[in-house]
Amino acid sequence: MRWLDETFQTKNHTCQNLYNHAHSTHQKQQTLSLPSWKLLTLTSYFCIAFVLSSNSQTNLAQLMAHPSSAPAPAPGHACSGTLGNHLARRLVEIGVRDVFSVPGDFNLTLLDHLVDEPELNLIGCCNELNAGYAADGYARAKGVGACVVTFTVGGLSVLNAIAGAYSENLPVICIVGGPNSNDYGTSRILHHTIGLPDFTQELSCFQTVTCVQVVVNNLGDAHEQIDTAISTALKESKPAYISISCNLSGIPHPTFSREPVPFYLAPKVSNYLGLEAAVEATAEFLNKAVKPVIIGGPKLRVAKAQKAFMEFADASGYPVAVMPSGKGLVPEHHPHFIGTYWGAVSTSFCSEIVESADAYVFVGPIFNDYSSVGYSLLIKKEKTIMVDPNRVTIGNGPSLGWVFMADFLSALAKKLKKNSTALDNYRRIFVPSGMPLMREKDEPLRVNVLFKHIQNMLGGDNTVIAETGDSWFNCQKLRLPENCGYEFQMQYGSIGWSVGATLGYAQAARDKRVIACIGDGSFQVTAQDISTMIRCGQRTIIFLINNGGYTIEVEIHDGPYNVIKNWDYTGLVDAIHNGEGKCWTAKVRTEDELTAAIAAATGEQKDSLCFIEIFSHKDDTSKELLEWGSRVSAANSRPPNPQ
């Protein structure tokens, strides 16, 4: 130790400053899994790096010969010094505890290292698409997800799910086992490719649906590549692509000789002058308005601004609505909440209040053809404050960048005069929704009766997952109790998403019982991973709505292609169950059968996966879908503009 002690004596002041800075930073900045011993580790490594750079006779070999000079790793985490171990520890550090995978010969050695990590649980899925959807659902509950597949045949299969995660601003780490490092730069043709000696096809496909791509085929810079990819995904809240050569995961290398140095993401700080200008201009605009309103959008999640949003809502007194894709991000038990703003298919009385306002604050919106109901919203730009994650635009006036949503909303809340005019108007015109008509004895179950019962099931320990289709519209009308979650994929709208997403979400949020509403057409796309839910011991309640086809497509444009082959859905799930694990199924045709099935699912079968098949008429849809479908159809069928 004498060589290191003597060197440190000459550099003591600098190292002490580094320690003080790290300690101060630890107090002030948001950290990722950074306990005090790791803070010391980080500081010590920085100090040692400084010494090494200052003393040409000191080298890494000398340092490795003095293992006592570095802090010991965490108890129970002896370092193997390999790329595979480093990646596993990084995933644990950022909050991943479950990784969804499909094995293939290019990723098997890497999977061994993930299995060896005691804090990681490797979950094998039935196919790569569902593994990607599961990582998407996991990221919604945990903030980050991960999946592992094999080269090209696996990568291109998971690609659709990664594109969906990109559209929803979810950091999913997509790890692919790649070719042997010796095969890069040669003319060899490998299996799992399209028969060309060019290994970039998969990479090219991922470039447009991930925020960062790295191909690790050299141990020398693997450490930096992996850390860069993961940190970029977390900072940008988008998926990352990491390809790792199949022969590298288990090879020791000096850069992986120690417990990974923890990293933290420095918080984004708004430009102070821009923030001040945006707040002043917005406050002046809103304080002059007579009946302003607030509408929350899906980018509240990526901006991590839900708390600041509610500060703004409380301080302003304005009524609060959500865009359909923002449902679940704003507490619906709040006294100012007035429902979903979705143009012509909004919650009753919500669109009247929003569209009659003389100022509307859209916070984190996404306007597309679906959320605008075929571009039919009656919103005027000059009345709009648009608050994006890092920009504020005021009517037709200034647009101020590097102003972050949470900072802006918190500061704005302190500048507003309370104004409840629009909220008072809403309360004057509001009439509670009517109840479904009384049924005849043994009448076939109607969908609106089904959702009346689902509404009564909801509590703070549930999360609703709505599949693309009529469930979008029926689930939007559910009033979520405090702490009840809600997820659906509106921007990408990939049918079948909900099966994998339910698997991932339920695995991440073990304290929640997921209630998934899935149409029969969507279920046929991804049904296999019911098997994985049973294997994982999940307690989800799935309502499978069997109406014989793609109902949402029927209302946009009907044709024989929207009719599907009917399955015995409960029979299929029973076959998958095969007596292993806890699973219970029921077929429901009447309200009495529904009541009995829900009682069983929430009673004696409360610890089982419950699959309830609901038989409904093919034309039994929500009125909102009928309106929305006709407007989207009109938007899709617009003739070409004159040349």
Look up residue 408 and give its two tokens.
């802006």
Summarize the annotated binding site as residue ranges: 520, 547, 549
Contacting residues for 77 by C-beta, under 8 A, at least 6 apart: 89, 118, 259
Q: How far apart are CA 146 and CA 494, in angstroms?
A: 19
The closest alpha carbon to 587, from 577, 572, 576, belongs to: 572
Contact 296, 330 (CB under 8 A): yes
SS3 content of the chain, % helix, strand, coil (to 5): 45, 15, 40
Summarize the annotated binding site for Mg(2+) as residue ranges: 520, 547, 549
Q: Is 394 helix (H, G, I), strand (E, B) or coil?
A: strand
Q: Report the phi/psi class of residue 143: left, alpha or beta, with left for phi > 0 and alpha for psi in -120 to 50.
A: left
- Given strand 462-466, what is the order of strands in its sheet? 485-487, 462-466, 513-519, 541-546, 609-615, 583-588
3-state secondary structure string across 546-587: ECCECHHHHHHCCCHHHECCCCCHHHHHHHHHCCCCCEEEEE
Rg (CA), the chain: 27
Q: Is 529 helix (H, G, I), strand (E, B) or coil?
A: helix
The number of residues in the chain equals 643
Q: Report the phi/psi class of residue 304: left, alpha or beta, with left for phi > 0 and alpha for psi in -120 to 50.
A: left
Q: Is 295 helix (H, G, I), strand (E, B) or coil?
A: strand
Handedness of CA 522, 610, 566, 153 (dihedral sign): positive
**Chain center to CA of 522:** 20
CA 189 to each of CA 61, 106, 196, 218, 228: distance values in angstroms, whole numbers, following the listed order: 39, 15, 6, 20, 30
Q: Is 620 helix (H, G, I), strand (E, B) or coil?
A: coil
Contacting residues for 227 by C-beta, under 8 A, at least 6 apart: 90, 263
Outline where DSSP puts E strands in 202-343: 212-216, 240-245, 292-296, 320-322, 337-340
The closest alpha carbon to 131, from 92, 169, 165, belongs to: 165
Q: Which amino acid is at 401?
A: G
Look up residue 213 and give its two tokens.
């791509």
